[in-house]
Amino acid sequence: MRRQRKPKRRTGHKFATFCMALIIGAVLFNYIRPLPAAQASIASALSAGDSDNIHLAWPAQGSAAIGAQDFGILATHGDQQQRPTASIAKIITVLAILEKHPLTLHEQGPTITLTQQDVALFNKYYSEGGSYVKVEAGEKITEYQALQAILLPSANNMADGLAMWSFGSMQNYLTYANEMLQRLGLNDTLAATDASGFSPDTKSTPTDLVKLGDHALQNPVIAEIVAQPNATIPVHGVIYSANSRLGYNHIIGIKTGLTDQAGGCFLFAAKYDTGHNKSVTIIGAITGTPSLKAALDGSSPLIDSAKPYFSVKTPVKAGEVFATLQTPWLATAQVIAKDDITLLSWRGKPLKPSVKLAHINRSLPGGAQVGTAIIASGNHTATTPLVLEKAISGPTWQWRLKRF
């Protein structure tokens, strides 16, 4: 008599083995998978900004804004409506050209041969009473010299000519310039009609112009040229900066503007040494004044009135508890600042503390570095390493197995 097989028992054994393998695999995976990040509760109480007690010497007429590099916009005055920029538009032009044909410091760049088109631009602006530099067909000028002609005497003809040389046509330039403005976050600025700002169609706000000035100064070639009182270029000879305040009150640029529609406009920047080896570049814009002189005259009082509101602070001292650290397995320890945090601040900007923690996956002794303390005032930040005040235990194997 043939024995009957019992496939069910064997099948059940295989299933039990499979289930056991799954359980073991899940346990091992749970043990070795990455640990969650530790958390930090900040203990430092920092002073808030006091913008109500800031009183600046705003111009009597027109609108204005003031900011600083690494701080952004600090304060505004008057309406921030779009208005013609006049020749401040040339900063947009030069930024776009240097994106298309970048230069490094002390580099002249390509040599450009001027044509009858450039002579026609000269004749146009000469007849319309715009600013210009003399040109001749066949004249050879480097890109750097052309930029000097645009930024120092504010030559409208060179601004249009170099824009068309760089982009092939005025329309191509305007398309690129407006895309660039959006990319830079200058959403209230529009480039239109020409590259010189002679047309009232190029418009902006004081707030956006301060941001524009910040972008311009980040380009070392622009920063170098706008700080020059004069230069020499082919045909025209010596050219002079239209910024008559250059060098006064530590003003290092940036661009003046004047048309009937725009009124007097001045985008300016000044270096301020606050002491304690800290300095700041103040950037301001004054627009819509009755004359260029009024815009220029308004710059120094505004700069001087802003200076007292900058100060060097030490909100965190070495050895102070900055935060309490807690791991996912509930080990806790206080973390302390390894060094002082000293930074330049603006009274109207609150000091904002934050922590960047390292990944903790084991026991650590007291004094071990576990992250970085960060204090921000506007976009300006200062840091110091964070170290454990006492030892902290790592995760147990039981916790690793049981965690969810």
Listed residues 273, 297, 321: the one ending a domain = 297
Domain count of the chain? 2
Q: Per the domain annotation, does 291 fall within a domain?
A: yes
Distances from the Cα of 401 to the Cαs of 23, 328, 387, in angstroms? 12, 13, 29
293 and 388 share one domain = no
286 and 331 share one domain = no
The span from the first CA to the last CA of the chain, in angstroms, equals 56
292 and 320 share one domain = no
Q: Could you tell me which residues are beta bridge partners of residue 140?
A: 113
121 and 231 share one domain = yes
Q: Per the domain annotation, does 175 fall within a domain?
A: yes
232 and 335 share one domain = no
Q: How far apart are CA 236 and CA 317, in angstroms?
A: 59
119 and 234 share one domain = yes
42 and 64 share one domain = no
105 and 190 share one domain = yes
Q: Per the domain annotation, does 223 fall within a domain?
A: yes
239 and 361 share one domain = no
Q: How far apart are CA 36 and CA 349, in angstroms?
A: 34
- Name residue 55's amino acid: H
Q: Could you tell me which residues are beta bridge partners of residue 345?
A: 311
Q: Per the domain annotation, does 7 fall within a domain?
A: no
Which range marks the domain in which residue 368 is found?
35-49+313-402
What is the pLDDT tens value at each position of the chain, 404 positions in all? 455 555 555 666 676 676 666 666 556 666 666 778 889 899 866 765 666 689 999 999 999 999 999 999 999 999 999 999 999 999 999 999 999 999 999 999 999 999 999 999 999 999 999 999 999 999 999 999 999 999 999 999 999 999 999 999 999 999 999 999 999 999 999 999 999 999 999 999 999 999 999 999 999 999 999 999 999 999 999 999 999 999 999 999 999 999 999 999 999 999 999 988 889 999 999 999 999 999 999 999 999 999 999 999 899 999 999 999 999 888 999 999 999 999 999 988 888 999 999 988 889 999 999 999 999 987 888 999 999 999 999 888 888 777 76
pTM of the model: 0.86
pLDDT for the residue numbered 282: 98
Q: How far apart are CA 344 and CA 378, in angstroms?
A: 10
269 and 152 share one domain = yes
pLDDT for the residue numbered 28: 62
Q: Per the domain annotation, does 16 fall within a domain?
A: no
Six-digit token pair at 307? 């200076």
CA atoms within 13 A on the CB side of 92: 33
Q: Where are the alpha helices (DSSP H) in 291-370?
A: 292-297, 299-306
CATH number of the domain within which 342 lies: 2.60.410.10
For tokens 């305007």, the residue is 174
Q: Could you tell me which residues are beta bridge partners of residue 75?
A: 66
Q: Per the domain annotation, does 13 fall within a domain?
A: no
Q: 294: closest CA among 19, 9, 63?
A: 63
317 and 267 share one domain = no
Six-digit token pair at 51? 């913008």
CATH number of the domain within which 253 lies: 3.40.710.10
201 and 241 share one domain = yes
CA atoms within 13 A on the CB side of 70: 14
pLDDT for the residue numbered 3: 55
- Name residue 107's amino acid: E
Confirm if 377 and 341 have CB atoms less than 8 A apart. no
Q: Per the domain annotation, does 125 fall within a domain?
A: yes
Confirm if 81 and 205 have CB atoms less than 8 A apart. yes
Q: How far apart are CA 190 and CA 197, in angstroms?
A: 11
Listed residues 297, 332, 354: the one ending a domain = 297
Q: Is 385 helix (H, G, I), strand (E, B) or coil?
A: strand
By CB atoms closer than 10 A (0-12, 13-18, 19+), residue 308 is exposed
**Count of Cβ atoms closer than 10 Å to residue 43 Cβ:** 14
Listed residues 247, 262, 297: the one ending a domain = 297
**Count of Cβ atoms closer than 10 Å to residue 396 Cβ:** 11
pLDDT for the residue numbered 48: 59
Q: Per the domain annotation, does 133 fall within a domain?
A: yes
